[in-house]
Amino acid sequence: MRNNTNAKEKFIETAYKLFEVKGYNATGLNEILKESGAPKGSLYYHFPNGKEELALESIKLAGEKITTNLKKNIDVFENPIDGIVFNINKLAEIIDNNKKMHDMSISLVALETYNSSEVLRNACEKVFKTIQNIYIKKLIDFGISEKRAEDIAILILTMMEGAITVSLTIRNGETLRRLGKQIPILIRE
C-alpha cells in the first residue's frame, strides 16, 4: 500500500514542480511520468480523471507550501511590515541565486486555466484567498481595521504576484526588493 501512496505523492510533487515552472499546458503526462519515475499504470489508478485531477492535487500542494512558507516568514516578526518585507526579500534571494521557482506562485497555472477549467480556477482562487487571509490576519492583529487590512492584503497579493513574474523574467530579485521598500509606505498611510 505504501508504494501506491508513494507513487501518488511522486506524481503530485512532480506535477506541482513542472506546472509551476513550465505551466499546465506545456507539461504533458508523459513528462510527469518520466520525471516522477513512478510506474505508468499507477497514474490513472490514482488519477482516473487524468491531468486535470492531478493538477488539482498539485495546486493544493503548491498552496500548502506557499502558505506555510509565507506564515513562517511573516510570523517571525510581530510587526507585519517587517514580516512581509522579510518574506519578499527571501523570495528575491531565491531568484538571485537562480534557484528553481518552487513554493512561490501559482500564477502561471492560474493564468492558463482560469478560462478552461472551472475546477482548477476554483483551486487557484482558494490559494489566493488563503494567502490574502494570512495578510489580513497579520494586519488586523497589528491593529489595522478589517476593511483597511482587506484592501492592503489584496494590494500586497497582486503586487507580489506581479513582482515575482517580473523578477523571474529579468532573472533577479530587484523588482521584489523595490516592492519591499514600498510596503512600509502602503501599510503606514
Q: Looking at residue 151, which CATH number applies to its domain?
A: 1.10.357.10
Say whether pTM exceeds 0.75.
yes
Tens of pLDDT along the chain (189 residues)?
455 568 999 999 999 999 988 899 999 999 999 999 988 889 989 999 999 999 999 999 999 999 999 999 999 999 999 999 999 999 999 999 987 666 788 998 999 999 999 999 999 999 999 999 999 999 999 999 999 999 999 999 999 999 999 999 999 999 999 999 999 999 986
Amino acid at 46: H
Strand, helix or coil for residue 78: coil
Please tell me the distance from the alpha carbon of residue 48 to that of residue 63, in angstroms, as a whole number: 22
Q: What is the CA radius of gyration of the chain?
A: 18
Domain count of the chain? Answer: 1
Domain of 131, in residue numbers = 2-188
Contact 139/80 with Cβ under 8 angstroms? yes
Please tell me the distance from the alpha carbon of residue 119 to that of residue 110, in angstroms, as a whole number: 11
Contact 122/59 with Cβ under 8 angstroms? no
Residue 161 has a CB neighbour count (10 Å cut-off) of 18
Closest C-alpha to 23, from 177, 168, 170: 168
3-state helix, strand, coil split of the chain in percent (to 5) is 80, 0, 20
Please tell me the distance from the alpha carbon of residue 62 to that of residue 126, in angstroms, as a whole number: 12
79-91 pLDDT per residue, tens: 999 999 999 999 9
Amino acid at 160: M
102-126 pLDDT per residue, tens: 678 899 899 999 999 999 999 999 9
